Amino acid sequence: MNWDVIKSGVEQVVALCESVPERFRDRCFDLLMGALLREKGSPRSLSPSDEEEREELTDKGGGELKLNAPTRAFMKRHGVTEEQLSQVVMTDEDDVHFVRKPKIANNATGQIDWALLLALKSGLADGEFEVSAQATRAMCDSEGCLDRSNFAKTLRRNRELFKAEMSGDAPQGLSGDGERKLATLIKALSQDE
């Protein structure tokens, strides 16, 4: 792998991303870096002589997901691969970050997608796939898909995704239907380009 070529490509990607509006920069960077790595070779295709460099990359926080037993069980039950999951989230120390965010067709869909993704984040952090209405509301507000007047109604219409009705600060676990929908969402997000 020619690191100088990759470095040059990264510099071009950064320059191009700086030319787009702020709200599109993260997505632009993800898309362009994915294309660059596919074209020039990804860290997964390192030769054995580059083993030390790969270990350094992993040690600096670009590492593998730390999967607890409940998360592995969820993945096995629903056919989610570690590769698919790593396309959607990454871990840094004890924090979970979303690499890909759902495309919001409408606010109701966005609210449910974020509730499921927050349950995933909780599952990765402590093994409990649960989420509260308050956390979902805050995330949807920050992501621009909060429908204030219909938020509670949307959660009630989708109550089959949770073990109990979601309201307030009390976290609710995902039901079997909720886990299936989360798995479908992870698979879809991992395919997005």
Taking residues 157-167, report their average pLDDT.
90
Phi, psi of 109 (to 5 degrees): -65, -45
Q: Phi and psi for 130 in degrees, rounded to 5? A: -140, 160
* Percent of the residues in the chain that have a pLDDT greater than 90, as a whole number: 50
Q: Parse the chain into domains and list their residue ranges.
A: 3-62, 69-191
Three-state DSSP at 104 gives: coil
In angstroms, what CA-CA distances link 42 with 15, 32, 49, 106, 177? Answer: 21, 13, 15, 35, 36
Average pLDDT, integer, range 167-189: 93
How much is the pTM? 0.67
- Angle, helix 176-191 to helix 69-78, in steps of 10 degrees: 80
Q: Which stretch of 4-13, 77-86, 98-107, 129-138 has the lowest confidence by average pLDDT?
A: 4-13
User: How does residue 60 score in pLDDT terms, banded at 50, 70 and 90?
Assistant: very low
pLDDT in tens, 88-141: 998 877 788 888 999 888 999 999 999 999 999 999 988 999 999 999 999 999
Average pLDDT, the chain: 82
The pLDDT assigned to 118 comes to 96
More confident residue, 187 or 60: 187
Helix then strand count (H, E) for the chain reads 9, 4
Confidence at residue 166, expressed as pLDDT on a 0 to 100 scale: 82
